[in-house]
């Protein structure tokens, strides 16, 4: 008799192995033990397997109960996926674990798919290549000897397990039989996202209780095409952790952290599109998840129409920037100085930023209000000057002049001088009596860079171009805030 024990607390395993054990527990929960070729026991921290006869036959039987190719998709009965869910799981696995053409066969001809993302917008149309078969539906004979027993060392290709090896020149990843078994079921435990620019990400959870995780996994609602699209690897991790948090009864055994692998092109390999670009281990607080939840509702992906009539889903670059700050445990507006120089901020993103500025600390709010008040006063001075010269104010030039003044300094002393000069030249009610508090916060640790980002954000989100635009923005913000709450 062959016996294996796969434990999530085995010190010789990595997070992908432990998640794979959880995937195995989920797969076993869907199989009738009375008609099984093997026996098992699932505890809170381990899965125990045993069988008589050939290892090869037992593993092949177990994999056939877990994976199958059906109607062009990779089907997993334990996940109970609907049509969109089957597409998301299949496309996610194909762009991560099965990215190499040797790992899967797909039809040459594409079939059209259409998903509704927004009720009042056209459907998103996608060309999909149906799956014929893949690594998980094959025979796995390379892992066994001629007698059908497990080899003591099992080689796995690096492109099959993104992130476990740095580059194919390092050779195959060598696994033990228990590690090999766990990794076969890793796809069941992961969550997949498609990123902009022909990139993808796979999120691997930390599982601390197999029974509880299996129960909670079954309660999670199905995913849609909209939730499959993500603006960045950082947002992928935050979206995953937020969905885990929202599952009912998940507080005691909730997922505290996860690893997210960002996959995309690498210069050293032109044949594969989804090689490891970055790995993030993400563990965040309730406050961070709360901020992300607000930001994700204010900055959703939007359906865009191409000139030829086709549609596509545009992710918010602002949300990607905010998410990457949050997973790095930085304030959400950190780096606005660099972000604004490199990125165009569209009106819909600007409106989202306006609402996000309501989530500042007391010290941050004081500085923000003071700068925005001074900018309002400065604009009034420029309006008076334009009237005297009988011309229309150039709002873009006025805004850029202030932004240049505040973003030019590169040291704490120079920025403090520029900020004080701006606030003193355009005195506002918001700045009255707040000087000492601003001075104190500005000179704490490395706060001056945060102060520069916050000052530029205050100018960029000012609402005052015209009465009509201000009324329109206020109306939209009121509706968006109501939706958030």
| Higher-confidence position of 278 and 477 | 278
Which residues, including other chains, have CB under 8 Å from residue 232's CB and lie 6 or more apart? 195, 319, 320, 323, 324
Q: Is residue 288 part of a domain?
A: no
CA–CA separation, 459 vs 401, rounded Å?
11
Q: What is the pLDDT of residue 158?
A: 59
If asked whether residues 94 and 9 sit together in one domain, one would say: yes
How big is the CA angle at 199 (ends 233 and 109), to the nearest 5 degrees? 140
Report the mean per-residue pLDDT for the chain. Answer: 86
Angle, in degrees to the nearest 10, between helices 412-425 and 395-407? 140
pLDDT of amino acid 59: 94
* CA 320/CA 330 separation, integer angstroms: 14
> Are residue 157 and residue 29 in the same domain, yes or no?
yes
Give pLDDT, residue 472.
42
Tell whether 365 and 436 lie within a shared domain.
yes
What is the C-alpha separation between 155 and 176, in angstroms, rounded? 9
Of 283, 301, 317, the last residue of a domain is 283
pLDDT at site 471: 45
Phi first, then psi, for residue 234 (nearest 5°) are -60, -40
Residue 344 and residue 274 in one domain:
no
- In terms of domains, do 235 and 354 share one? no
> Which 3 state secondary structure label does DSSP give 229?
strand
345 with 447, same domain: the answer is yes
Same domain, 258 and 388: no
Assess whether pLDDT exceeds 50 at residue 253: yes
C-alpha count within 13 angstroms, C-beta hemisphere, residue 449: 10
Helix H or strand E segment including 87: helix 83-94
Distances in Å between the Cα of 2 and the Cα atoms of 27, 32, 38, 442 are 20, 20, 10, 66
Integer Cα distance of 456 and 437 in angstroms:
19
Contacts of residue 175, Cβ cutoff 8 Å, sequence gap at least 6? 153, 154, 155, 156, 183
* Residues 165-185 pLDDT 10s: 555 566 678 889 999 999 999
For the segment 35-49, the average pLDDT, to the nearest whole number, is 94
> Does 34 share its domain with 140?
yes
Phi-psi region of 325 (alpha: psi -120 to 50; beta: other; left: phi over 0): alpha
CA separation for the pair 458, 463 (Å, rounded):
10
Q: Which long-range contacts (CB under 8 A, 24 or more apart) does 397-402 make?
A: 399/459, 399/460, 399/462, 402/375, 402/378, 402/459
Are residues 12 and 152 both part of a single domain?
yes
246-260, 302-316, 373-387: the lowest-pLDDT one: 246-260
* Domains: count for the chain: 2
For residue range 295-321, what is the model confidence (pLDDT) as tens digits? Answer: 999 999 988 887 777 788 889 999 999
CB-CB contact of 295 with 356 (8 Å): yes
Stretch 425-437: mean pLDDT, rounded? 76
Domain contains 139: yes
User: How long is the chain?
Assistant: 485
Decide if 324 is inside a domain.
no
Residue 301 lies in a domain: no
For residue 469, pLDDT over 80 is answered with no
pLDDT of residue 25: 97
**349 and 235 within one domain:** no
Task: Tell me whether residue 209 is in a domain.
Answer: yes
pLDDT of residue 176: 92
Residue among 4, 15, 29 nearest 208 (CA): 15
The answer to whether position 328 is within a domain reads: no
Q: What is the pLDDT of residues 132-154, one digit of tens each?
A: 999 999 988 889 999 999 999 99
Q: Which residues pair with 115 in a beta bridge?
A: 124
Same structural domain for residues 86 and 178? yes
* Domain of 241, in residue numbers: 2-283
Which of 30, 10, 8, 22 shows the shortest CA–CA distance to 213? Answer: 22
Q: Is position 290 within any domain?
A: no
In the listed set 283, 301, 318, which residue is the last one of a domain according to the structure? Answer: 283
Domain identity same for 253 and 340: no
């Amino acid at each position: 008799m062959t016996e294996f024990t796969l434990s999530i607390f085995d010190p010789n395993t990595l997070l992908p192995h432990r998640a794979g054990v959880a995937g195995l527990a989920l797969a076993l929960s869907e199989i009738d033990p009375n008609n099984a070729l093997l026996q098992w026991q699932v505890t809170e921290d381990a899965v125990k397997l045993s069988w008589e006869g050939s290892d090869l036959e037992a593993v092949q039987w177990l994999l056939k109960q877990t994976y199958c190719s059906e109607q062009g998709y990779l089907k997993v009965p334990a996940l109970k996926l609907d049509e969109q869910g089957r597409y998301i799981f299949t496309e996610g696995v194909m762009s991560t674990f099965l990215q190499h053409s040797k790992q899967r066969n797909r039809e040459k001809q594409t079939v059209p798919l259409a998903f509704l993302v927004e009720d009042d917008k056209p459907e998103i149309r996608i060309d999909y290549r149906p799956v014929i078969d893949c690594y998980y539906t094959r025979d796995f004979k390379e892992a066994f000897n001629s007698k059908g027993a497990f080899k003591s060392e099992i080689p796995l290709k690096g492109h099959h397990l993104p992130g476990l090896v740095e580059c194919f020149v390092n050779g195959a990843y060598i696994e033990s039989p228990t590690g090999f078994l766990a990794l076969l079921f890793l796809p069941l435990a992961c969550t997949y996202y498609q990123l902009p620019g022909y990139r993808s990400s796979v999120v691997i959870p930390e599982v601390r209780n197999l029974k509880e995780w299996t129960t909670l996994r079954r309660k999670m609602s199905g995913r849609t095409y909209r939730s499959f699209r993500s603006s960045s690897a950082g947002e992928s991790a935050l979206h995953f952790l937020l969905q885990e948090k929202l599952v009912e009864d998940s507080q005691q055994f909730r997922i505290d952290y996860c690893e997210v692998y960002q996959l995309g092109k690498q210069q050293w390999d032109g044949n594969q599109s989804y090689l490891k670009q970055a790995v993030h281990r993400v563990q965040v607080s309730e406050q961070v998840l709360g901020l992300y939840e607000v930001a994700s509702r204010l900055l959703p992906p939007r359906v865009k129409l191409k000139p030829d009539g086709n549609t596509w889903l545009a992710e918010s670059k602002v949300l990607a920037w905010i998410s990457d700050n949050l997973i790095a445990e930085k304030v959400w507006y950190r780096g606005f100085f660099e972000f604004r120089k490199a990125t165009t901020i569209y009106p819909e993103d600007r409106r989202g930023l306006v609402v996000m500025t309501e989530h500042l600390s007391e010290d941050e709010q004081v500085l923000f209000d003071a700068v925005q008040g001074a900018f309002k006063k400065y604009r009034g001075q420029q309006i008076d000057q334009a009237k005297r010269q009988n011309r229309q104010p150039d709002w873009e030039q006025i805004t850029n002049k202030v932004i240049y003044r505040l973003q030019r300094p590169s040291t704490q002393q120079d920025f403090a001088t520029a900020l004080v000069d701006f606030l003193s030249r355009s005195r506002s009610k918001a700045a009255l009596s707040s000087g000492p508090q601003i001075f104190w916060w500005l000179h704490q640790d490395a706060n001056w860079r945060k102060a520069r980002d916050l000052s530029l954000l205050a100018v960029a989100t000012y609402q005052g171009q015209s009465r009509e635009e201000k009324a329109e923005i206020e109306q939209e913000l009121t509706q968006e805030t109501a939706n958030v709450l």
